[in-house]
Structure 1
Amino acid sequence: MSYQDIDAVEVHALLGRDDLVVIDVRDAHAQARGRLPHAMPPSDEVIDALISRRHQPLSVLVYCYHGHSSRDLCAFLTRIGLRRVYNLAGGWAAWERHQSSCDIALPA
């Protein structure tokens, strides 16, 4: 099993899923300036909850600044048994470019 890289356009479909967990691996300062809805930092509590729920139908979206450092967490999550793990290709930078080109505003 492995994770899937997805682009910013595909993220919109994921954000509507009830089973989605969003993990933002950027630092707290960057998260405070903007983040995807319901995004959480990859704390021990979040990772432990994912481990305990790994046999349930669950989708996990991970992103960072440019889509590189989030890959390590995606690989780990697939190794522990999660089946639907997605990495935002291009990271937050790609999301911001996409959002500005579509004039999409995210809820706070």
Structure 2
Amino acid sequence: VNPISTDNQRFTFDHPELVPFAGNVPDVNQFDAQFFKVNFRQACIMDAMSRKILEQAYQAIYDAGLNPEELSGTNVGVFVGACFSESEKSCLYDNHVVTGFGIAG
């Protein structure tokens, strides 16, 4: 967690509810769509939180000592509690081209 710098234009420093630190995820736009069998067009419009959840769920399975390739057809799950990420504005208010890949669940 690093101090928020003045060159980070997303933040207004005079806001009373703003904390002076932020956790930034490096390479948040890097995603191996082919590995996760996600259509390339869908991967391009997926929000960063959805991509990161796929990566971390796979990592949790791997860290548990399980082979993900052997789990097909079994009753195994990774459960995640989450809310809208910083991409909420983009999801709700920005104009998007309708492609059929907008919502995945």
* TM-score grouping bracket, smaller chain normalisation: under 0.3
Higher gyration radius (CA): 2
Q: RCO higher in 1 or 2 (8 Å CA, sep ≥ 6)?
A: 1
Which is richer in helix?
Answer: 1
TM-score of the pair, normalised by structure 2 = 0.25
Q: Which has the higher strand share?
A: 1
